[in-house]
Chains A and B, each alone.
Chain A
Amino acid sequence: MRHTRRHFVQGLGVAGAGMLMDTASAQGEIPKRPLGKTGLQVSALGVGGYHIGTTETDDEANRIVAEAIDAGINFFDNAWEYHDGKSETRMGNALKGKRDQVVLMTKVCTHGRKKDVAMRMLEESLKRLQTDHLDIWQVHEVVYDNDPDLIFAKDGAIEALDQAKQQGKVRFVGFTGHKDPAIHLKMLSHNYAFDTVQMPLNCFDASYRSFETQVLPELSKRGIAPLGMKSMSGSGEGVRNGAVTAAEALRYAMSLPVAVTISGMESLEVLHQNLEVARGFQAMNATELTALRNRVRLYATDGRFELFKSTKKYDGALGRELHGFPTPEQLPA
């Protein structure tokens, strides 16, 4: 049941050795890549849900989504907890009449709580997103050392993933986290049949608590679709500092063997900037990738441009509360 369309994608796109071969880029389109073993094809660039909630007006959010789809983006990310539901509500409105053109993902925010909490969140997400099913449903923010234990505990969130799949409310499942490759590997060690796994991937990551070197190869081996995020350090920290340009940062991330690179685009300006890289995308070759990694290594090794790994800054309020940590106001980082 789980991988009925497996035959469709084997051997395409994401090669084990980490080399990436996109087709269709020559025509100036955004390349599509197989999403692991799911049979789905997704655009190499995806729209991040968090930033849809920070966009100034509903109207601009609608235009970002519409323009993205017109440009060939079909991957849309979200999470139950982003801006108290505003991100999902906005995306639901923006996708009205376009639902069947996209691969829609959202995430469940149990942060260690039980299956019933997850199932309630799923209903809320579906309602806000104005759809009867999700293409991908992921466990959100697996960032605390004991999260894997709590997620896989009896009656934990993992059972909700199974149930939602059985009920046909979600097609594929996965998890995401921005903290530590060791936590991701702990999740994978349970050998649960995840379809997707999301993680920070950027030119700094390779030299600091690296998902690229520790998690990506494991996903390739298992045929799980890797979803990249935080190509610009989360809030463009590395770009603002002048360590890299936005185009370099995005190109690096998109050149890794991932299905999609999810990027937050809170304005049309940022969307256009990203589209310039994604249209007719040309992956960096191994030499270019190494050169960029080496160039930024000095900044990378203390984690200053990956504050989601090295500080509490990117750990959400709800997760902190449920893990007994101080609020973002009390403990900004």
Chain B
Amino acid sequence: MASIPLRALGKTNVQVSALGMGGHHLGDAKDEKTAVQLVHDAVDGGITFFDNCWEYHLGKSEEWLGKGLKGRRDKAFLMTKVCTHGRDSGLAMRMLEESLRRLQTDHLDLWQIHGVTFDNDPELFARKGGAAEALTLAKKQGKVRFVGFTGHKDPDIHLKMLQTNYPFDAVQMPLNAFDGTFRSFETKVLPELQRRGIGALGMKPFSGHGEPVMKGVTTPEETLRYAMSLPVATTITGMEKPEVLKQNLAIAQGFQPMSEAEMGALRERCATYGDGRFELYKTSIKYDNPEARMAHGFPVDMQSKETQEMLKATKNDGKPFQE
């Protein structure tokens, strides 16, 4: 079995696998047993980068990853994210303790500000008492090794975050062939990260929920290969089923990047959809979690899985939250 290439994470002196396992989809796995097995198989397949977030499935994603990494923690580069959405550093520190407990570890390798998607988020992050202070404090306390931020909305918001000149180690963003020509992180943010030596983390290679693959616009292989061929440390993708993990491992093991010409041809094909229909995280608030919406005074969507989970959590049926 060919191994998954390891790549440098910015200036951190750490190497991570070019394919990373997304935390949101882990919580979508059929059950805990499946999730734990997915994590084991990912580690065995050469994945070292594990993504997660405080707000994914009300903590279920972190709990399941914690269980999956039991006894394997030292083989993983573990990231989770904090969900202040503009709120203060004290809240961030409480979320950190909760994440550490769920993940069954005393430290994170990377802790990122989650969901930097509203135009005023950078301002709220950098304000006095804002979440930036929590990143610094957590690092000082040795609870996190590296810090960063993530968002799926607009490259200009990312650039605004970078303009605060906070010393980020990593920055996460949507990167795929559609992004290449539409409100593009690839053209606006990636070069800036390279200039600054910040580790670039790609996400949403499959547009969030695999929409272009399901509609037959792109194949899974070219979709993932494009994202992994960009100058990023890792490409984080969700794998909630063994088949999906297997498919992605097959592409990542012995990975050969696309040529410039191949990438250009795919970008051009995807540019036909210049209205953002395959990047709904940029063009709608579908991917903005209720936690983020409420902190910003936006309406929540009763149909969304996240809102449903929140409502379910209010029911006292005498059973714990997880089925």
List residues of chain A with CB under 8 Å of any chain B CB: 144-147, 149, 208-209, 241, 299, 301-304, 307, 310-313, 323-326, 331-333
Number of B positions contacting A (CB below 8 A): 24
- The CA of A277 and the CA of B148, in the complex, are separated in Å by 50
CB contact between A146 and one of B118, B275, B280, B303 (< 8 Å): that residue: B275
- The CA of A157 and the CA of B301, in the complex, are separated in Å by 35
The 10 A-B residue pairs whose C-beta atoms are closest, nearest first, are A146-B274, A301-B120, A144-B275, A302-B118, A304-B297, A324-B277, A312-B284, A323-B275, A302-B296, A311-B285
Q: Which residues of B contact A324 (CB under 8 A)?
A: 273, 275, 277
- The CA of A208 and the CA of B156, in the complex, are separated in Å by 13
In the assembled complex, B97 has its CB within 8 A of some CB on chain A: no
Q: Which residues of B contact A303 (CB under 8 A)?
A: 118-119
- The CA of A324 and the CA of B303, in the complex, are separated in Å by 21
Q: Which residues of A contact B286 (CB under 8 A)?
A: 312, 331, 333
Are A302's CB and B285's CB within 8 A? no
Instruction: List residues 271-308 of chain B with CB under 8 A from any CB of chain A.
Output: 273-277, 280, 283-286, 296-299, 301, 303
Chain A at the B interface: SS class: loop
- The CA of A6 and the CA of B277, in the complex, are separated in Å by 42
Are B119's CB and A145's CB within 8 A? no
CB contact between A208 and one of B119, B274, B277, B296 (< 8 Å): that residue: B119
Q: Which residues of B contact A241 (CB under 8 A)?
A: 297
Distance between A288 CB and nearest chain B CB, rounded to angstroms: 24
Instruction: List residues 160-179 of chain B with CB under 8 A from any CB of chain A.
Output: none
Distance between A300 CB and nearest chain B CB, rounded to angstroms: 9
A-B contact pairs, 15 of them (CB 8 A): A145-B274, A147-B275, A301-B123, A302-B118, A302-B119, A302-B296, A302-B297, A310-B118, A310-B285, A311-B284, A323-B275, A325-B280, A326-B280, A331-B284, A333-B284
- The CA of A278 and the CA of B299, in the complex, are separated in Å by 31
Q: Which residues of B contact A301 (CB under 8 A)?
A: 118-120, 123
- The CA of A311 and the CA of B299, in the complex, are separated in Å by 10
Q: Which residues of A contact B273 (CB under 8 A)?
A: 324
Are B277's CB and A325's CB within 8 A? yes
In the assembled complex, B206 has its CB within 8 A of some CB on chain A: no
In the assembled complex, B54 has its CB within 8 A of some CB on chain A: no
Are A209's CB and B119's CB within 8 A? yes
- The CA of A145 and the CA of B182, in the complex, are separated in Å by 9
Are B276's CB and A304's CB within 8 A? no
- Nearest-neighbor residue (CB-CB) of A301 within chain B: B120
Distance between A329 CB and nearest chain B CB, rounded to angstroms: 9
Are B274's CB and A299's CB within 8 A? no
Are A145's CB and B285's CB within 8 A? no
Residue of B123, B275, B284, B303 with highest tally of chain A CB at under 10 A: B275
Q: Which residues of B contact A149 (CB under 8 A)?
A: 274
Q: Which residues of A contact B276 (CB under 8 A)?
A: 144-145
Q: Which residues of B contact A333 (CB under 8 A)?
A: 284-286, 298-299, 301
Distance between B191 CB and nearest chain A CB, rounded to angstroms: 21
Residue of A146, A147, A304, A333 with highest tally of chain B CB at under 10 A: A333
CB contact between A323 and one of B183, B277, B298, B303 (< 8 Å): that residue: B277
- The CA of A144 and the CA of B284, in the complex, are separated in Å by 12
Type the 1/0 row for B181-208, where 1 means its CB is closer than 8 Å to any CB of A.
Answer: 0110000000000000000000000000
Distance between A293 CB and nearest chain B CB, rounded to angstroms: 15
Q: Which residues of A contact B118 (CB under 8 A)?
A: 301-303, 310
Other A-B pairs, 9, CB within 8 Å; known A145-B183, A311-B284, A333-B284:
A149-B274, A241-B297, A304-B296, A304-B298, A311-B285, A325-B280, A325-B283, A332-B303, A333-B285
Q: Which residues of A contact B275 (CB under 8 A)?
A: 144-147, 323-325
